[in-house]
Structure 1
Amino acid sequence: MLPNPISSDILGVDSHTAKDLEIFESDTGDASLFDFCNRTRSVGGAVVLRRRMQNPWASGERIEFTQQAIRYITERRALFNQMPSVYAVEGTQNYLQEILPNLDFRNRLEFVLGAFQVWANQDSHYFSIVRGAQATCRLIQALRAFVTQPSLKKPPGELGPLLQRLRAHLSRPNFRLIPDYDVGAWGTWKMLKLDQILRVKEKDALNRLLAINYELEALVSMADATCEHNFSIPEICTGQMQVEAEGLYHPYLANPVANPVALNQQHRILFLTGPNMAGKTTYLRAFATALYLAHLGMGVPAQTFRFVPVQWLFSSISLTDDLRRGVSYFRAEALRVKAVAEAVARGERVLALMDEPFKGTNVKDAFEASLAILERFSRRDNCLFMFSSHLIELSDDLQRLHNQVDCRYFEAVETGERLLFDYRLRSGISDQRLGMRVLREEGIFDLLDPNSDTTSVPMQTAL
């Protein structure tokens, strides 16, 4: 479960929204959004990327700070090939965590005796020390070479403070003693003295170096994913909430159909209709995924994307009942709407997406509940909503909601033997009713008609 926002700088993304967007796991076993973005090389880099994705920014300044770093990395990608190898990073991490004898003796004689004992009686420990010290020296050497590149003298965004801290740690007197050549040929005495410096005196400083390297890895991963998927960097706006996009698509689709988005204070609600399979849910997921990535500071799957950052992103797409807790499907729907209402009532900037809400009750209740919620949402300044529904009967009532509702729809092409879908967003409300046709196309009535001949039906279809 994702944490609630710990400050006004953090976007609220609750566990249900994280599940809907498949941020960290997919019900189908396919790659998650985290997997889709993860190009890190080390375990620590992946941990930092996950932490970032658990806490997207809600502050425009913070988002822009990350955007600047990602742009810079993308434009000068070769510079970041000089970062330490995964061997040096993982080797140093293992070296600092491994249980090895410490020769932290103030007395010179005790150190000599201890060093002899390690060398003579604990061969595996000694070779682990040598291997770890070598990896750590390579880490320091690589970071030193990386940070002294002229083009990285004054990088923008998040890179500036990170590299400033990196330079400060590398300037420690003990780290300046690390040579620029491989220390593998050093003798036992000299190597164990180096081990004492690295693993005893400078352990905390080395952990801080690793932490900075992991932050850099996460930023490079976000930049690489943005570039690899040909995402565009969004434009951050100020003022009251709005989101506008052209050419928006879902990044998981092989041949996606792109569509626009326009939500603002003149049209706070997008009311989406259309038959099943026409593209409503995919459109909602595509929009929510793009907005989430925008708050990370990454690029998004769209030609252009402009937005004012929000404080809460809610989705209500894959609801289920809960037998163990005695929560029916309709109560689960009501609780989901309540979570949105609570954030709205606190005066926070909310963007919520609801996919065919109130399916768990009768048509009359669903109509009245939908209209009541839409009326109240339409009066809320600085909040935006997407609301998909099959209740086309709402159209007359929506016209009187002070023009706050923008009606759009998807449709099916009914010519030919099978339904076809172009997944294009259109203006207006759909009046297509295709349930009976879908049942006929699937041959269900033929199976149930006692006069029909089902002997030629393939076994898998009959089942």
Structure 2
Amino acid sequence: MNFYADKQTQEDLNLLGRYKNNSIAQLFDEAITAGGKKLMDKMFQQPLSDPIAINQRSDTFRYFSELLLSFPFTAVEFAVMEDYLASDGGGNLLQMASGVIYKKILQGIANDSDFELLQSEVLKTIELLNRFYAFVSLLPKSNLAYRDQLERIEKIYAHPSLQWLRGKPEILVFSVSKIIRFDYLFRYVLREQMNELIELIFDLDVCIAVARIGIKKNFCYARAFGKEKNTMKVKRLFHPVLEHAIGNDSCLDQDHNVLFLTGANMAGKSTLMKSFGIGIYLAHMGFPVAADHMEFSVKDGLYTSINVPDNLDMGYSHFYAEVLRVKKVAEEVAASKNLVVIFDELFKGTNVKDAYDATLSITEAFSENRNCLFVISTHIVEVGEDLRGRCDHFKFAYLPTVMEGVVPRYTYKLTEGISQDRQGMIIIKNEGILDLIQS
């Protein structure tokens, strides 16, 4: 079973979509091959929930980050080999030989290019197979992280029918008989081995791409633990897409499973919560995380409520959409799932009194599920004061606003406690809105 994040969560955190502006998937979209890109998409769609598998994958990425390698093929030349090996060879040796001879005859009598194309594909495949073997032969084998893949590659190249390949010099042209022999070998005799090798090349492509992003962005590799530990510790966590993002530390566990955030608008609460959610998601993928250090207990899933839209087609107001979202999360929590839950400004679609009562009761009720971790924010600081008097397993923090005269400045640094900032009217006056209306 994989780690789960529903569509709302994916949208809130802008996780998926290689072509989506500023998405996390776009950030890591540096795979060279089409198959590598598809594998990367699959990893994003299916995060892991097994700590052993997570740590093994992150160790593999770390292994490549220490080697500083570049992928040995261009997208164009690899596509030639990939398309050739994936094409139908036509069955047994007699059928394949007949097809090659037919193409050779057409080349002579009709100036047909099919034989020339087949010859170039066979030659390119031999060249790339040699290049790939030379590349992986230089990879250190002492590290356990990538040893299994290296052994599988070695086994393929050790096949008796491929002994001639190693170190073969570059050849510009083959006779018809050799074209038949090699075409039959690659697309029929060794079809299963070639398919496995292609998949291993896709995997290598992803490993190099992810490691390169981790280095370029100065990300860390998180360490996963079993569910029973129920902890999440992170140092200098920041948003991976923002330039010059400010990092913050956080620590949640069984005894303190709720981070309750307050602070003014624009102080950075939503960005902090998105950073937290993205970090959790990437950590469950085994990908590098935007932080200096992170360790966490694996969870069953992640649910956020940050940008909940109304639904005019269904007749749902913004408030009712929020209620349904909270109900959905409550059902998942009630099913004894180990979750990370992020609520940004609960019930902002209703009046202050209802929002106060609902935020207080819902937050307190959720927090009793000690197998889950919660990050909850609100503008209603009085809720925080009440919860601080009633709950000893909360961590209260805020993002300060520093007033420089009548101009607010935001530090984006978490501070312990509950915010007392009240700058809303100052910002309104600074923008001259009242003067515009009165004039």
TM over 0.5: same fold? yes
- Equivalent residue of 1:267, what SS? coil
Q: Where do residues 269-418 of structure 1 align in structure 2 (5 Å cutoff)? A: 269-418=258-407
Instruction: Please report how far the alpha carbon of residue 435 of structure 1 lies from its aligned counterpart in structure 2 after TM superposition.
Output: 2.1
Corresponding position: 1:176 with 2:163: yes
The CA deviation string for residues 317-343 of structure 1, in whole angstroms up to 9 with x for no partner, is 111011123332122212222232222
The answer to whether the Cα contact below 8 Å between 1:274 and 1:410 also exists between their aligned partners in 2 is yes
Give the structure 1 partner of residue 22 of structure 2.
31
Instruction: Please report how far the alpha carbon of residue 383 of structure 1 lies from its aligned counterpart in structure 2 after TM superposition.
Output: 0.6
CA distance in 1, matches of 2:96, 2:379: 83
Question: Residue 418 of structure 2: which of 405, 429, 433 is its match?
Answer: 429
The answer to whether the Cα contact below 8 Å between 1:19 and 1:25 also exists between their aligned partners in 2 is no
Task: Indicate the larger mover: 54-63 or 414-423.
Answer: 414-423
The answer to whether the Cα contact below 8 Å between 1:414 and 1:420 also exists between their aligned partners in 2 is yes
Instruction: Please report how far the alpha carbon of residue 424 of structure 1 lies from its aligned counterpart in structure 2 after TM superposition.
Output: 1.8
Whichever residue aligns with residue 18 of structure 1, its letter is: Q
The answer to whether the Cα contact below 8 Å between 1:87 and 1:135 also exists between their aligned partners in 2 is no
Instruction: Please report how far the alpha carbon of residue 48 of structure 1 lies from its aligned counterpart in structure 2 after TM superposition.
Output: 0.7
Give the structure 2 partner of residue 76 of structure 1.
67
CA distance in 2, matches of 1:94, 1:107: 20
Give the structure 2 partner of residue 17 of structure 1.
9
Whichever residue aligns with residue 432 of structure 1, its letter is: D
Question: Residue 202 of structure 1: which of 183, 190, 196 is its match?
Answer: 190
Q: Where do residues 157-236 of structure 1 align in structure 2 (5 Å cutoff)? A: 157=145, 159-178=146-165, 180-236=168-224
CA distance in 1, matches of 2:154, 2:430: 68
C-alpha distance 396-182 of structure 1, shift in aligned 2 (>3 A): same
Instruction: Please report how far the alpha carbon of residue 154 of structure 1 lies from its aligned counterpart in structure 2 after TM superposition.
Output: 4.5
Instruction: Please report how far the alpha carbon of residue 230 of structure 1 lies from its aligned counterpart in structure 2 after TM superposition.
Output: 0.8
Corresponding position: 1:52 with 2:68: no
| TM-score, structure 1 normalization | 0.87
CA distance in 1, matches of 2:90, 2:107: 13
The answer to whether the Cα contact below 8 Å between 2:65 and 2:215 also exists between their aligned partners in 1 is yes
- Equivalent residue of 2:303, what SS? strand
Instruction: Please report how far the alpha carbon of residue 345 of structure 1 lies from its aligned counterpart in structure 2 after TM superposition.
Output: 1.6
Whichever residue aligns with residue 426 of structure 2, its letter is: R
The answer to whether the Cα contact below 8 Å between 1:119 and 1:188 also exists between their aligned partners in 2 is no
The answer to whether the Cα contact below 8 Å between 2:256 and 2:394 also exists between their aligned partners in 1 is yes
| TM-score, structure 2 normalization | 0.91
Count the aligned residue pairs: 436
CA distance in 2, matches of 1:442, 1:294: 42
For structure 1, list consecutive stretches of 5 or more residues without a partner in the other structure.
1-6, 451-463
C-alpha distance 181-87 of structure 1, shift in aligned 2 (>3 A): farther
The CA deviation string for residues 270-290 of structure 1, in whole angstroms up to 9 with x for no partner, is 110111001101111111112
The answer to whether the Cα contact below 8 Å between 2:32 and 2:71 also exists between their aligned partners in 1 is no
The answer to whether the Cα contact below 8 Å between 1:84 and 1:138 also exists between their aligned partners in 2 is no
Instruction: Please report how far the alpha carbon of residue 82 of structure 1 lies from its aligned counterpart in structure 2 after TM superposition.
Output: 7.0
- Equivalent residue of 1:228, what SS? helix
CA distance in 2, matches of 1:437, 1:327: 34
For structure 2, list consecutive stretches of 5 or more residues without a partner in the other structure.
none
Whichever residue aligns with residue 227 of structure 1, its letter is: I
Corresponding position: 1:130 with 2:122: no
CA distance in 1, matches of 2:323, 2:49: 26
CA distance in 1, matches of 2:435, 2:103: 86
The answer to whether the Cα contact below 8 Å between 2:18 and 2:26 also exists between their aligned partners in 1 is no
CA distance in 2, matches of 1:107, 1:436: 82
Question: Residue 31 of structure 2: which of 28, 40, 65 is its match?
Answer: 40
Instruction: Please report how far the alpha carbon of residue 207 of structure 1 lies from its aligned counterpart in structure 2 after TM superposition.
Output: 2.2
CA distance in 1, matches of 2:224, 2:129: 37
Whichever residue aligns with residue 358 of structure 2, its letter is: A
C-alpha distance 107-314 of structure 1, shift in aligned 2 (>3 A): closer
CA distance in 1, matches of 2:53, 2:311: 38
Instruction: Please report how far the alpha carbon of residue 118 of structure 1 lies from its aligned counterpart in structure 2 after TM superposition.
Output: 4.4
Task: Indicate the larger mover: 194-203 or 31-40.
Answer: 194-203
The answer to whether the Cα contact below 8 Å between 1:103 and 1:114 also exists between their aligned partners in 2 is no
CA distance in 2, matches of 1:14, 1:112: 51
The answer to whether the Cα contact below 8 Å between 2:239 and 2:272 also exists between their aligned partners in 1 is yes
CA distance in 2, matches of 1:377, 1:108: 66
